[in-house]
Homo-oligomer: A and B are copies of this chain.
Amino acid sequence: MNIDKLYSDLTLKTAAKLVLIVLDGLGDIATKEQGYVTPLEAATTPNLDALAKDAAQGRMTPVAPGITPGSGPGHLALFGYDPLEFQVGRGVIEALGLGLELKAGDVAARANFCTLDSKGIVTDRRAGRIETEVCEELCDLLSKKIKKVGDAQVIIKAGKGHRFVVILRGSGLEGPLTDADPHQDGALIPIAQPINEKSAKAKKTAKLIKEFYRLALPIIAKKKPANGFLMRGIAHKPTIPLFEERYRLKPACIAVYPMYKGLAQLVGMTRLEGPQTIAGQFERYLAEHDNYDFLFIHYKYTDMHGEDGNFEAKKKAIEEFDAALPILLQKKPDVIAITGDHSTPCALKGHSWHPQPVLLMSAYSGSDKLERFNETNANRGSLGLFEAKSLMRFMQANAKMFDKFGA
């Protein structure tokens, strides 16, 4: 039987308030070089410790054993969607990360400027890593000259350095396409092709991308060093069942960085704009507590410092988070989950496959009698090791949102 249908059939509407707090890339590993502690273990976290006494803990496999997720699959799983079933193309994620709002059916591509020789061979895939300002000028130029390809509107937005995003907005478009990127220097730019050759929409999209190249390349042909561009992750915004319908919870997102707002918006969460610090985000939570049933609060800095391999900074980011936590707890939500979207171990300087620790607290979570919330204690918690996509179901259960299954 379809398990999502079963959950849906059993779901009751209640007055419970649920909060999901994501410390991006929270999980870490203990290594000899780090003195056998993780940043979460090394951090002074009196407020998390106080929660731990009355909470359950466990670890979550972000996607599948050994799989390292990007932010897209990591968050979709936290929102309760199977990240293997609901795949979001890199172009879409990149567009969301730049704060672009996508409509259903929009096709988005990650693009970057490159250097081509006179025969059109890629000689530098990153065009000497041009400055952001140069990228912005080139994007402005392209935007002014190209408003449409075929019947589709073209939206171009510069990112950082040599990176930008191209969106095609029109009817009958679909991804994914193969990359217009040789993935190495010394080759021509390949033509983007439909991955599903039977899709008429993908064929049309490929034709429009080809047309975009035909129009755009001459416009920048004389520029140096960026006289060409590559396009990758060409995909449409997928249709994802709405969070509110799926869980009978009215959701909102309080995030600082655009990508996470965008991911929340993909599943239909309201974006609450404004706060720029975790204290500000928690203050905003207090103000919005009565207006929503489910709040997703995103904290970026744990991941950022993990990516830099900066143990001390990651530890400090956790301590700053902990110091702000009492603000949120002024209005005690019925269910609180605190976790990461994946691990970003300092020793790896990047996302990883290691299951992230999770703390779950409600009047019905039970206490695992663990003094602190960290990776080692999470290994001993009553939640065990489970798939991140099930966290929403545990949160709903703790909110007493499920009727009994069978007599």
> Which B residues lie within 8 Å of A31 (CB)?
54, 363, 366-367
In the assembled complex, which residues on chain B have CB atoms less than 8 Å from the CB atom of A363?
31, 347
Q: Which of A358-390 contact B (CB under 8 A)?
A: 363-369, 375-376, 379-387, 390
Contacts of A10 in B (CB 8 A): 67
Specify the chain B residue showing the minimal Cβ separation from A390. Answer: B65
Q: Are B69 and A366 in contact (CB under 8 A)?
A: no
**Are B382 and A379 in contact, with the CB atoms below 8 A?**
yes
Inter-chain contact B366/A384, CB cutoff 8 Å: no
Binds B, one of A80-88, A157-165, A269-277: A80-88
Going nearest first, the 3 A-B pairs with the smallest beta carbon separation are: A29-B366, A384-B385, A66-B397
> Is A338 an interface residue when CB atoms closer than 8 A count as contact?
no
Say if the beta carbon of A90 comes within 8 Å of chain B: yes
**Residues 53 to 98 of chain A near chain B (Cβ within 8 Å):** 53-54, 59, 63-73, 83-85, 87-88, 90, 93-94
Closest chain B residue to A93, Cβ basis: B407
Instruction: Specify the chain B residue showing the minimal Cβ separation from A92.
Output: B407
Closest to A382 in B: B379
| B375–A347 touching, CB < 8 Å | no
- Per the 8 Å Cβ criterion, residues 326-358 of A in contact with B are 345, 347-348, 350-355
**Chain B residues near A380 (CB, 8 Å)?**
379-380
Instruction: Give, as a whole number of angstroms, the nearest-CB distance from A362 to chain B.
Output: 10
Q: Is A287 part of the contact surface with B, judged by Cβ < 8 Å?
A: no
Cβ < 8 Å to B, chain A residues 87-124: 87-88, 90, 93-94
> Do residues A355 and B384 form an inter-chain contact, with CB atoms below 8 A?
yes
Asked if B369 contacts A30 (CB within 8 A), the reply is: yes
Give the interface segment out of A248-256, A297-305, A313-321, A398-406.
A398-406
Residue contact A36 to B367, C-beta cutoff 8 Å: yes
Kindly state whether residue A393 has any CB partner on chain B within 8 Å.
yes
Beta-carbon contact of B84 and A29 below 8 Å: no
Contact partner of A364 (CB less than 8 A), chosen from B72, B348, B397, is B348
- The residues of B that contact A386 with a CB separation of less than 8 Å are 65, 385
- Contact size range, A: 35 or more
Which residues of chain B are near A213, meaning CB under 8 Å?
A: none
CA distance A53 to B6 in the complex (A): 40
A-B contact pairs, 26 of them (CB 8 A): A1-B87, A3-B84, A6-B67, A6-B84, A10-B67, A30-B369, A36-B367, A64-B393, A65-B386, A65-B387, A65-B397, A66-B393, A66-B396, A68-B402, A68-B403, A71-B407, A72-B406, A233-B407, A345-B364, A350-B404, A352-B364, A353-B397, A354-B366, A355-B382, A368-B379, A380-B380
**A376 proximity list for chain B (CB < 8 A):** 368-369
Instruction: Write out the residue numbers on chain B whose beta carbons fall within 8 Å of the beta carbon of A375.
Output: 366, 382
- Whether the pair B69, A406 counts as a contact (CB closer than 8 A) is yes
A6 / chain B contacts, CB cutoff of 8 Å: 64, 67, 84
A73 to B404, CA, bound (A): 10
Knowing A233-B407, A396-B66 touch, does A29 contact B365 (C-beta < 8 A)? yes
Q: Which residue of B lies closest to A376 (CB)?
A: B369
Interface residues of A in 28-62 (CB under 8 A from B): 28-32, 36, 53-54, 59
CB <8 Å contact, A84 and B1:
yes
Among residues of B, the one whose C-beta sits closest to the C-beta of A73 is B406
**A212 CB within 8 Å of chain B:** no
A28-B366, A375-B382 known, 8 other contacts, Cβ within 8 Å: A70-B404, A70-B407, A93-B406, A347-B364, A347-B366, A351-B404, A352-B397, A384-B384
CB-CB contacts below 8 Å: A115-168 with B: none
Q: Which residue of B lies closest to A37 (CB)?
A: B369
